[in-house]
Amino acid sequence: DNHQNYHKSSEYSHMKPLLGEGLLTSEDEKWKNQRKIMAKEFHPPRIEEYFPQISKRIHENLLDLATKEHQTFDVTQILSKLTFQIAGEIFFGANVAQFSHDAREALEDETIRMNKRMRRAINIPFVIPTPENCKGKKSVAKLDHIVSNIMESGEAEKSFNVLRKLMHQTPPLDNKVI
C-alpha cells in the first residue's frame, strides 16, 4: 500500500545491465505496473497450472538417475539442469536444453561481476570498457541472444508460459528477461 515510501538500495543498480528495468530493479510507477502483471503469475492457482510440467521434468530426471545406480554423480549439476529445464518451459515455453551450457556460464560470470560490484565502495561505470565490464557485456549479450532465439523460434507463442503472457501485456516491458 505504501510502495512510494520504500526505495531500492544502490546495489540494485549493479543488476540493471543484466535485468534492465525489470521488476527487481525498477521503482515507482514502472515497478507498480510490472508488479501487477507479475503478481497474477505467482498466485497459488496459477502456480498449480505449472505442476504437470514440473512433475514431468522431475519424473524424467528421476528415471535418468535410476540408470546411474551405483555411480557417482554431481547432484548440483543434476539439480541445475532440472531447474533450467523447468524454468525454460514455464518462463519461455521452450526446451532450452541447447542453450543451458552457454546460459549457465553467462549467468555465473555476470553474477560474479555483480557481486563484486556490490561489495566495492567505488566502481567504474558499466559503460567504460574495462576488462570486467567487457566480460559483463559479453555475458549480457549472450543471454539476450538466447532469449531472442527462443522468441524468434515461435516456441513461446505455442505454449502456456509466462513470457507469452508478458509479451501480450500493455504497456510493453523493456527487452530484458526479468
| CA neighbours closer than 13 Å in the CB half-sphere of residue 94 | 20
pTM of the model: 0.68
- The residue count of the chain comes to 178
Quick one: CA dihedral 87, 91, 96, 99, positive or negative? negative
Reported as a single tens digit per residue, the pLDDT across 98-150 is 787 888 888 888 888 888 888 888 888 888 999 999 999 999 999 888 888 87
Say if CB 3 and CB 158 are below 8 A apart: no
Rg of the chain over CA atoms, in angstroms? 18
Reported as a single tens digit per residue, the pLDDT across 23-55 is 778 888 888 888 887 787 778 888 888 888 889
